[in-house]
Structure 1
Amino acid sequence: MGDGFLAGVAMLKSSDCEIDGSWIDNVRDLPKLEMIELHGCKITSPEWSRTPSFPDIKYLVIQDSEIDPATSPFFDRFPGVEVADLGGTSISDMQLAEVVALPKLRVLNLSRQTLTIEKTTLILESSGLAYLYLHDSSVSDEALLRLSGHPSLQLLSLLGTDINQSTIDALSASCPNLEIQRSLPDQGPGNNGWRSLD
């Protein structure tokens, strides 16, 4: 699959598929691949634990998909990921621990998920994380307060959540450089979300 024009493919997009050993082989044969985008897929392959890492992948989008809790390690196969968009994809605490441990992670989307205290405590360990999106997620005030004092967080988007203003104020006080969004910002030139980030 890496021969010819496919060798220059930078983005691979799949939907409603099952991620198995043959899919992994195809990804390995795309040397210039920087972005994987999966929608409505099922990831259960045990092959990941025996698969070499994909250090050149910078953008990992897995939306509205199913990742078997037993599929681990998985995210640590992508050590170069800067953006992890997991909107609508439930992941285990162990898998989230892999995500937040990615050394280059700057943007994390956990929208449309249930976020426990354990999960938000794990997010605090991602020292380089700058942008966190929790749109329409189920998260308690107590769980959100676990993000207090995050060393690098610049933007926390809480659209569609039911968080008390006192919690917002406490978070803002603990993170002086943090912008918290509870409504859609003005979409001026160049303001297109994480895809416009350097």
Structure 2
Amino acid sequence: MRPLYSTLLIYAVLLWLGRDTLLGLAQNEAYYPALMYESGVWSIRWLIVAISVTPLLRLITLLDRGQAVGRWLLRKRRHIGLVSAIFAITHLLHYLRHEGRLDAVLHDLWRLEYATGWLSFALILALAMTSHGWAVRAMGRRWKRLHLWVYPAGLLALWHWYLLDYYTGRVLFWSCLFAAPLLLRWIFVRIRHAA
């Protein structure tokens, strides 16, 4: 039972940090642009944390420090990714509630700034639905290949954000944070091949 309490605590803490955007679903007078921005940013934040685990583990191994932290992060990575998906779902729910009509949603679907968001969401949903242990066992090696789609999902989310946000500096900042673990992975691959 203790692992269950530990898992629930992780979800409670990670979701509490973005509680305003979650609570905004129950508030009709909530400010729509702020809710869309915050729910999208929280989703990207946790996605970046989730993809940072592997390069961080390699860095920990290289430095020979902090193995306990690395193992803990590895065990919690799935939950961090699912919290990212929860905020992506929240982002979508705010949008659907604001649009209110199916024809308006379908009209937006064909515009690039929204199509990139829908594609990113579809990938994130597929990853979330296959993140459980039974999916890992059932899919075998295909599971790892599927979960590499987290990178295109993140890129599409950032592109969606770039196309809709007037302040490109914010998108550039988060794009750099998204690129950092990718760069670290590339560096570690180069080091391994050079050895």
TM-score (norm 2): 0.28
Q: Which has the higher strand share?
A: 1
Q: Name the structure, 1 or 2, with higher relative contact order (CA <8 Å, separation 6+).
A: 2
Give the helix-richer structure, 1 or 2.
2
